[in-house]
Amino acid sequence: MSRCKVCFRHCDLKEGVLGYCGARICRDGEVVEANYGRVTSVALDPIEKKPLRHFFPGSKIVSVGSYGCNLRCPFCQNNEISWGEGAKLFSQTAAVMMPEQIVELAESYKEAGNIGIAFTYNEPLVGYEYVRDTAKLAHEKGLKNVIVSNGTAELDVLRQISPYIDAMNIDLKCFDREKYKKVLEGDLDMTMAFIEEAAKTAHIEITCLIVPGISDDAQQIRKMTSWIASIDPEIPLHVSRFHPCFHMDDSAPTPVETVYELAEVARESLKHVYTGNC
């Protein structure tokens, strides 16, 4: 048995067995990245789509995704590549693009306004080695690197990638430990610690998807934003509206007025609050 050291799960894996995230595997007695170079999605996006509002606004960025995730959000918008049967399929069929190829692609879009590479769509930190290797090459070419993550990773993972990461958008799913554990199968304390450390080395923005019954409580938002402000009140927060999808496709969308009301609550503590999907 070998232990994975990426997140709080610390999966103990037998030879040839995948971890909970579906993207790490035990090979030759060591837990390594099973999805290295496996690319499921590539797109040239506006930087604001990540979402990042205070990092090179108006620019474009090449977005790259693989497969696998260490959370189980029932409202996942990228479930086809994050977890479930779709992710298993992509583990066999996804195209292979090595770091050099991704960097070359990113360079080819400079004239179109591209500033670098965003590791996104699935959870990039379950394949942090690929992120690290690609981002290092990108920096050598003068490109910027962005991560869109759930922040569910050990600080040693952050230390390995932080020299090469310029900005992050981190999903803070809610601010309730029990809900984080029972609904998302995550660990709020790990995400909070990750955000605190990441803010020391990169530009940080945070997203909270407002999901009815999970993250739409005003008192919870007040506690969340007070905590964010204790790190830095200048950290931008994106308060986004939930639309039915995945295991919550029969749920009602979040009322627009709820998103606006919670954004006002967030502005009690934070200077930069943006609403999305409204």
Give residue-wise pLDDT tens across range 84-96: 666 666 667 778 9
40/252 Cα distance (integer angstroms):
30
Strands 30-33 and 24-27: antiparallel
The reported pLDDT for the residue numbered 86 is 66
For residue 80, is pLDDT > 90?
no
Amino acid code (one letter) for 201: T
Instruction: Report the alpha-carbon distance of residue 243 to residue 206 in Å, rounded.
Output: 19
Average the pLDDT over 38-49 and give the result: 96
- Number of domains making up the chain: 1
* Average confidence (pLDDT) over 246-265: 95
Domain with 272, as residue range(s), is 2-276
Q: pLDDT (tens digit, 9 = 90+) per residue, 101-127?
A: 999 999 999 999 999 999 999 999 999
CATH code, domain with 95? 3.20.20.70
Q: What is the pLDDT of residue 88?
A: 66
SS3 of the chain: helix, strand, coil, percent, to 5:
35, 25, 40
